[in-house]
Amino acid sequence: MDRSAITRRNFLKVLGGAAAAAALPAAPWAAEPIGAGGASPRRPNVLFIAVDDLRPQLGCYGRKQIVSPNINRLAAEGLLFERTYCQQAICMASRASLMSGYRPDKGGIFNCGPLYECVPGALSLNRHFLANGYETASIGKVYHHRSDETVGWSRGAYHPMGQWVGRGYLAGESIAEVKAYARAHPKETRTGMGPAFEGPDVADNAYADGMHADRAVALLGELKDRPFFLAVGFLKPHLPFCAPKKYWDLYAEDKIDLADNPFVPKGAPKIALTDWGELRGYAGMPAKGDMPDDLARKLIHGYYACVSYTDAQIGRLLDELDRLGLRDNTIVVLWGDHGWKLGEHTMWCKHTNYELDTHAPLIISAPGAKARGRSTRALTEFVDIYPTLCDLCGLERPAHLEGASMAPLFDDPDRPWKRAAFSQYPRGRIMGYTMRTDRFRYTEWRNMQTGATVATELYDHASDPAENTNVAHDPARAGDVAARKEMLRAGYKAARPPGA
C-alpha cells in the first residue's frame, strides 16, 4: 500500500514546494461534511473508465449504426466532448501522459516505457487521489505497464486470467494449464497471435472484460461507504476482435459499410503512414498489401461487436451505481485511449498523427453540473483530464500539470476555449508534432537531433474533414502554413483557454 508513503510533507516535496493553483471553482459537494466533527469535506467518488482502441464510433457521436445504448445513456447524463485529442496515438504513451498530466516529451514518455521509469516520482492522478484520502483501485488495463500499478493504489490491481478464446486462454485457466495444453497440442494455436476475430456463443465473462465488470460491480459494493477512485480498464475493442456471439448478432455483415476513403492522402509524406503491422501479425491477415474487401468487412463487423460488448459491461457499472444510490455523488469519466483506423487511408490500427488516430471519445458526467446532457466543441486534450478532476473534486491542482482544467465547460460548454490541441508520434529519430486547430491540422516531422523539419502536412477541415489532401505545398496556402507553423512553435502554453 502506498498511502503511508505519501504524507503531506512528501506530497509538497513532489510538487517542488510550489503552492497549489489558486481560485479552484467550488465543488457542489464541498459544503457537506463527513467524518467526526465534519473534519473532512465530502468529496465525490470517481468511476474512471478506460476503453482500449475506442474511436468515437458511438451513437452519441452521431454514428447511429453502432449499438451503444449505455455509453449513450452516460452522454445524456453528462458532458460529451466532441473534439478531444490524445497526446500520442498508442496506448502506452497515451495512458502515461493522461495519468501523469505530462505531455509525451517529458522524460521520454513517447518511447512507451513505464511512467515511473520515464518520470521517477511522478505524482500521477491516482497517486494524488490516494494522498487526499481516497480509496484507489485498478481493474483491468488502466496503465499499460504492470510496474505502474504498484504505485498510488490502496489495493492490488486486478487482472483475471480469462482472456481470448482464440489465443487459447479460457476463463479460469492458469498459465501452467495453458503451457501444458500447448505442449500436448503443438499444432494448435494456443500462445501465438491467433485469429483476429471470433464470436463464440459464450457468456460475457468467458472473456476478461466480463470478468472486469464482475469485479467492478463487487468492488463498488465494498467501497460505497468511503470516497473512492475506481479505475476500470476494458480491453475491447482492442485486437483481436473477440466478443460473445450475441454482440456479433446485433449487426448484419452485408449492411456494414467499408471505409469511403481507402486511399493514401494525396501529397502525404511517406513518414506519416503506417503498414499496420499490429494487425498483420494475426492469423489469416495479409502479410503485405491492402486488405481484401470481404476480410475488411469481417474485421469491421468484429470491431462493432466488441464496441457493443464493452458498452454492455459499462452499462452494468452504471446500473450498480444506481442500485447502490451512488450516482448522485459519483463522477463518471469515460475515455478511449486514442482513435483507430478501419481501412481509411488504406490503413488499420493507430500509430499516426491523423485525425482518425488522435481524436478520441471523452464523456464526463459530474453530478450538479449545469451542462448535463450537452456536448461541447471546445478543443480539449487528455492532459486536461487530471486538472479537471482536481477541480470537480475540490482537490489542489499539482503545479506540474501541463493541461488546463475543463471545469468551466461544465457551466458553459460554448465558451471560448483553446486555440489548438497538440499530439505527436515518433518515427525513429524523427518526431511528428501535430496540432489541431478549429479549422486545420498542421504537422511537422522534425529530426530530434538537429531540429530540422523533414516533412510538413496541412489539412483543411473546412473543405477536407477526412484529411484526404495535404495542401502544405500549395503556393496558395503559404499564408496558412506560415500561421500554423508559428502556432506550433509557440506550443501549448500559447494556446491555453482565455484566463487559464
CATH number of the domain within which 89 lies: 3.40.720.10
Confidence of residue 203 (pLDDT cuts 50, 70, 90): very high
For residues 282 and 479, the model is more confident at 479
- Residue 191 reports pLDDT greater than 90: no
Within a domain: 480: no
Specify the pairing of strand 421-427 against strand 374-381: unpaired
Task: For residue 374, list its beta bridge partners.
Answer: 79
Within a domain: 415: yes
Confidence of residue 183 (pLDDT cuts 50, 70, 90): low
**For residues 177-200, average pLDDT:** 63
Q: Specify the 3-state DSSP secondary structure of 425.
A: strand
Confidence of residue 101 (pLDDT cuts 50, 70, 90): very high
HEC readout, 317-382? HHHHHHHCCCHHHEEEEEEECCCCEECHHHCEECCCCCHHHHEEEEEEECCCCCCCCEEEEEEEEH
Specify the pairing of strand 430-436 against strand 440-447: antiparallel
351: nearest Cα among 362, 365, 363, 340: 340
Q: Could you give the CA distance from residue 132 to residue 233 in angstroms, rounded to a whole number?
A: 23
Q: Could you give the CA distance from residue 332 to residue 49 in angstroms, rounded to a whole number?
A: 7
Contact 174, 250 (CB under 8 A): no
Within a domain: 479: no
The pLDDT value given to residue 283:
85
Within a domain: 482: no
Contacts of 181 (CB under 8 A, 6+ apart): 168, 190
Confidence of residue 454 (pLDDT cuts 50, 70, 90): very high
- Residue 7 reports pLDDT greater than 50: no
pLDDT tens digits, residue range 328-368? 999 999 999 999 999 999 999 999 999 999 999 999 999 99
- Residue 31 reports pLDDT greater than 60: no
For residues 85 and 160, the model is more confident at 85
Contact 471, 458 (CB under 8 A): yes
Confidence of residue 180 (pLDDT cuts 50, 70, 90): low
C-alpha distances in Å from residue 30, one per residue of 43, 185, 409, 410: 6, 60, 19, 17
Within a domain: 318: yes
**For residues 264-281, average pLDDT:** 96
**For residues 122-139, average pLDDT:** 98
- Residue 459 reports pLDDT greater than 50: yes
Q: Grid coordinates in use for 401?
A: 500539470
Within a domain: 449: no
The pLDDT value given to residue 500:
81
Confidence of residue 214 (pLDDT cuts 50, 70, 90): very high
234: nearest Cα among 303, 168, 172, 141: 141
> Computed over its alpha carbons, how large is the radius of gyration of the chain?
22
Domain containing residue 188: 3-27+43-424
Q: Could you give the CA distance from residue 267 to residue 247 in angstroms, rounded to a whole number?
A: 39
**For residues 407-414, average pLDDT:** 97
Q: Specify the 3-state DSSP secondary structure of 18.
A: coil
Phi-psi region of 38 (alpha: psi -120 to 50; beta: other; left: phi over 0): left
The pLDDT value given to residue 177:
53
Contacts of 102 (CB under 8 A, 6+ apart): 96, 109, 119, 122, 383, 400, 402
Q: Could you give the CA distance from residue 67 to residue 305 in angstroms, rounded to a whole number?
A: 9
Number of domains composing the chain: 1
Continuous segment of H or E residues that includes residue 223: helix 208-223
Active-site choice (112, 118, 144, 349): 144
Q: Could you give the CA distance from residue 460 to residue 420 in angstroms, rounded to a whole number?
A: 14
Within a domain: 453: no
Active-site choice (91, 112, 242, 390): 91
Within a domain: 167: yes
Phi-psi region of 363 (alpha: psi -120 to 50; beta: other; left: phi over 0): beta
Q: Grid coordinates in use for 119?
A: 518520470
Contact 378, 81 (CB under 8 A): yes
Q: Grid coordinates in use for 263?
A: 486511399
**For residues 172-185, average pLDDT:** 52
DSSP state of 185: -
Residue 299 burial (CB < 10 Å; 0-12/13-18/19+)?
buried
Q: Could you give the CA distance from residue 213 to residue 446 in angstroms, rounded to a whole number?
A: 43
Share of the chain above pLDDT 90, in %: 82
> Would you call 91 a catalytic residue per the annotation?
yes
pLDDT tens digits, residue range 277-326? 999 988 889 999 999 999 999 999 999 999 999 999 999 999 999 999 99
- Residue 16 reports pLDDT greater than 90: no
75: nearest Cα among 63, 98, 58: 58
The pLDDT value given to residue 179:
54
At which residue does the C-alpha cell 456463443 appear? 201
> Would you call 112 a catalytic residue per the annotation?
no
Q: Grid coordinates in use for 62?
A: 452521431
The pLDDT value given to residue 188:
47
The pLDDT value given to residue 416:
97
pTM of the predicted model as reported, rounded to 2 decimal places: 0.89
Longest dimension (CA), the chain: 70
Average pLDDT, the chain: 89
Contact 366, 79 (CB under 8 A): yes
